[in-house]
Structure 1
Amino acid sequence: MKSSNRRGLRQLAGAIATVAAASLVLAACGGGSDTAGGDQPQASPDAVKEALAKGGTITYWSWTPSAEAQVKAFQAEYPNVKVNYVNAGTGNDHYTKLQNAIKAGSGAPDVAQIEYQALPQFALPGSLVDLRQYGFDSLSSAYTPSTWTAVHAGEGLYGLPQDSGPMALFYNKEVFTKYGLTVPKTWDEYIATGKKLHAADPKKFITNDVGDAGFTTSMIWQAGGKPFKTDGKNVTIDLSDAGTQKWTGVWNQLVTGGLVSSIPGWSDEWFKALGDGTIATLPIGAWMPGVLESSVKAGAGKWAVAPMPTYDGQPATAENGGSTQSVLKQSANPALAAAFVKWLNHDGGVKPFLASGGFPSTVSDLKDPAFVDKKSAYFGGQQINQVLTGAASTVVKDWSYLPFQLYANSIYGDTVGKAYQAKTDLNPGLKAWQDALVAYGNQQGFQVNG
């Protein structure tokens, strides 16, 4: 996706309001007639072809900058299909409007953009169409394992992966050269680098972090943690598992040691700090290059990309961000809507998506020499996709989000966020987060252990 869209995605994650998330979970327990993986209307792969041949009109809600170009290209290929594209907003606006339409029983689009982390909250109550009925489960080998897992809830398949965000370490090589720093390969080395930099210049920080739920879950994922497990309405939360402890063992040293900047991510000050060297590194998703290119002009030629530091020196990373398109149960023409989803993320729509700066989830594109070996002028000619596509193959397996992840993200600042403010141990904050999530989940009709 384009950099502006990437900023939108990150802002979206931070902007989810409790009221919107709460309504989603209430629907998960009381709305809809089907549950994830349950019985679905019978169809077949032929239904998709027949729907394309017959034509019709569908509505598509998305915030991605590539959406308009994709819709135009789709309609050029299938002139008997009219796609009404609507940008319903990002964050609270998009999800609240979508959920309100679902609850009202009318007004929902045929196809909607949904983040991977938000997918279970729409799939579990039966608001989305299970695409297995159209034979889409046969497409698994076309996508990276982590993104293919992300479009499932229970046994059901509720989208095809659009993008991916395998994490890598973006670093300011000008700062590293000036202060004699070596690119860290392990998290112990990362801590040592942070200490050396801050000691040399107290105005410089190895990174910034004021407490971000999406970053925390990605970092726990990379450490091998599996704090969230869901089986129907049975949910287990353990934010003190071995992987979580491994991550806090590192990050506590940075937070309590005052080695991370308190500049909020995605703020004007943050973009400035990335340009002037105040923030020296970012462990972040593979979509970050477009953000730097468009919003941190002063960083041109200064930044480089390396694999994520790990705990034992062996390659391992996690996803950070990403979304899919899902077909809504309200759709009057689900087969045509499903055909559009397949075109977007498996067929003709992938090319305009990549042209807009998207980082793919499709294996063929991740292996395409034209993509992998492309040199980036912003990154001083570095072939950054060699690093980023390599990261896509080292994502730790078997991660899952909560069925009320958006609500979880919305209260993160009231729990773990306080530890960042006080520069204290993150573990009590994680325990408070867990306790609040257990109580909330049980109130909403889930059976939560934690």
Structure 2
Amino acid sequence: MFNTARRTVRGAGLASAVLALAVTMTACGGSSDNNSTDAGGSADDVKAALDKGGDLTVWSWDSTMPKVAKEFEAAHPKVKVKIVNAGTSKDEYTALQNAIAAGKGIPDVAQIEYFALGQFSLAKSVADLSAFGADKLAKSYSPGPWNAVASGKSVYGLPVDSGPMALYYNKKVFDKYKIAVPTTWDEYVTAAQKLHKADPKAYITADTGEAGFATSLIWQAGGHPYKVDGTKVGIDFTDPGSVTFAKTWQKLIDGKLLAPVTSWTDEWFKGLADGSIATLATGAWMPTNLKTGAPAAAGDWRVAPLPQWKAGEKSSAESGGSSLAIPAAGKNKALAYAFTEYAAAGAGVKSRVKDGAYPATTADMNSKEFLDTKFDYFGGQEINKVFAQSASEVPSGWSYLPYQVYANSIFNDTVGKAYVSGTTLTEGLAAWQKQSLEYGKEQGFTVK
């Protein structure tokens, strides 16, 4: 599966207007019965809804979802599921918010990425699924994805995929220049220096400044820059994890050791194919993208654990991932939940995995068949073992802002300047913090 969701999360600016209305309504205390997150149902209602049947509209950009819908229909002949690609990431969120505001055209189920789900749940735009028994599925998922959809006893979506991070590296390039696979980020900087000195046209990786990537590495470093308690928001990019990331990554910027190539462009895939971009630190959803985007490099690439910030540690992070949520204004929540659970926790998971998706469910992630799968593109390596280990090492307690969509949209105008000017990452993070807090205050949040 070519994961277009990741392209948007990590590469594109996101408009500040995406959820401004919803955030303002909630932050200022505006709500009504129509905005309640109570799903208004039970597990018995789900069974009854399946027996009765009906039509469902599911908004999803996931290329594996149409097949899942057909399989669900085959299992439940009275149900018809229409999959609609309403756009990827911010495009879909804009359409969804417009539909909610207008009170018409609202889908029964919507795919929402983890970093954006908080905006919808805080605005009471998505239903709390615990009434249907979603809270009982907590142990079915790896910690990172579950923490992203659950808040206290409430569950606002079911994880449909995950992105435990690892280091993809071009073994052919590393062998050619006798570079050891780095186990720490300091070793990674050394490897970058050695590679670029040996071949000035080759770079350890491409990074022109991406919000999702930066926050994932801060997460791995133990950072907790975002503090969220309802409408109370705190941001501190001087915390140890953020400082650790900025200090190390600045060395790569200062040494001009990062390829000035934008991710997901033709130039980027060309670099991955010809070896001029030698590594990627990213999520477990990347293998199919490499296979389809850089087929000429088949057999050259391998996967290793993410380098550590301190030697001997075992810490990772998530990059990307999304959930299936049910709009609070939906008219058939019980039937919608039946499909959501099928796709995210039931038989639909195995179907999606066969088509290249990386699961969030631990049973699928740790199954012998899944772990023992050999990938020809990666020289026959059983790469899922690396990803599964990574998923178990993701630090808990990470939070996104309830307006992360907006925050990510201003990353390039703040932190991104460090990649193209004399601004340092530390200065860029300070600017990002300041502007993000100012926006939060404008929207009615209590900030500090």
If the TM-score is normalised by the length of the shorter chain, which range does it land in?
over 0.9
1-side partners of 2:225 and 2:197: how far apart? 35
Q: Do residues 375 (structure 1) and 374 (structure 2) align?
A: yes
| Alignment RMSD (CA, Å) | 1.7
Task: Structure 1: state its 5+ residue gaps.
Answer: none
- Measured after TM superposition, the shift of residue 153 of structure 1 is 4.0
Aligned residue number for residue 194 of structure 2 = 196
2:100 aligned residue (88, 99, 102): 102
2:156 aligned residue (150, 154, 158): 158
How high is the sequence identity, in percent, across the aligned residues? 49
Aligned residue number for residue 84 of structure 2 = 86
Quick check: 1:220–1:247 contact (8 Å CA) kept in 2?
yes
Quick check: 2:37–2:328 contact (8 Å CA) kept in 1?
no
**1:115-160: CA deviations, max 9, x gaps?**
0001001110111110011111011111101111111245421111
SS at match of 1:270: helix
Quick check: 2:38–2:328 contact (8 Å CA) kept in 1?
no
Aligned residue number for residue 295 of structure 1 = 293
1-side partners of 2:33 and 2:319: how far apart? 30
Q: Do residues 305 (structure 1) and 303 (structure 2) align?
A: yes
2-side partners of 1:406 and 1:253: how far apart? 28
Aligned residue number for residue 64 of structure 1 = 62
Quick check: 2:109–2:336 contact (8 Å CA) kept in 1?
yes
Q: Do residues 421 (structure 1) and 423 (structure 2) align?
A: no
2-side partners of 1:419 and 1:34: how far apart? 46
> After the TM superposition, which parts of structure 1 deviate over 6 Å for at least 4 consecutive aligned residues?
none
2-side partners of 1:145 and 1:109: how far apart? 28
1-side partners of 2:13 and 2:434: how far apart? 22
Quick check: 2:60–2:83 contact (8 Å CA) kept in 1?
yes
* Counterparts of residues 104-253 of structure 1 (less than 5 Å): 104-153=102-151, 155-253=153-251
2-side partners of 1:8 and 1:211: how far apart? 17
Amino acid at match of 2:83: Y
Quick check: 1:300–1:379 contact (8 Å CA) kept in 2?
yes
2-side partners of 1:193 and 1:423: how far apart? 24
2-side partners of 1:372 and 1:33: how far apart? 48
Aligned residue number for residue 446 of structure 2 = 447
**1:388-422: CA deviations, max 9, x gaps?**
11111111111110000000000111101111111
Quick check: 1:418–1:429 contact (8 Å CA) kept in 2?
yes
Per the alignment, do residues 425 and 89 of structure 1 end up closer, same or farther by CA in structure 2, a change over 3 Å counting? same
- Measured after TM superposition, the shift of residue 284 of structure 1 is 0.5
Quick check: 1:28–1:121 contact (8 Å CA) kept in 2?
no
SS at match of 1:139: helix
Task: Structure 2: state its 5+ residue gaps.
Answer: none
**1:23-78: CA deviations, max 9, x gaps?**
45335436643799x87254322111111111111211100001110110000000
Per the normalisation by structure 2, the TM-score is 0.96
Per the alignment, do residues 190 and 383 of structure 1 end up closer, same or farther by CA in structure 2, a change over 3 Å counting? same
**1:73-102: CA deviations, max 9, x gaps?**
000000111112211111332111101011
Aligned residue number for residue 7 of structure 1 = 4
Per the normalisation by structure 1, the TM-score is 0.95
Aligned residue number for residue 349 of structure 1 = 348
Name which of structure 1's ranges 301-310 and 365-374 shifts more when overlaid on structure 2. Answer: 365-374
Aligned residue number for residue 407 of structure 1 = 406
2-side partners of 1:322 and 1:381: how far apart? 26
Quick check: 1:140–1:148 contact (8 Å CA) kept in 2?
yes
Size of the aligned set, in residue pairs, is 445
1-side partners of 2:427 and 2:250: how far apart? 11
Aligned residue number for residue 322 of structure 1 = 321
Aligned residue number for residue 284 of structure 1 = 282
Quick check: 2:13–2:408 contact (8 Å CA) kept in 1?
no
Per the alignment, do residues 125 and 155 of structure 1 end up closer, same or farther by CA in structure 2, a change over 3 Å counting? farther
- Measured after TM superposition, the shift of residue 15 of structure 1 is 4.6
Q: Do residues 365 (structure 1) and 364 (structure 2) align?
A: yes
- Measured after TM superposition, the shift of residue 282 of structure 1 is 0.8
Aligned residue number for residue 262 of structure 2 = 264
1-side partners of 2:276 and 2:108: how far apart? 45
Amino acid at match of 1:9: R
Quick check: 1:33–1:126 contact (8 Å CA) kept in 2?
no
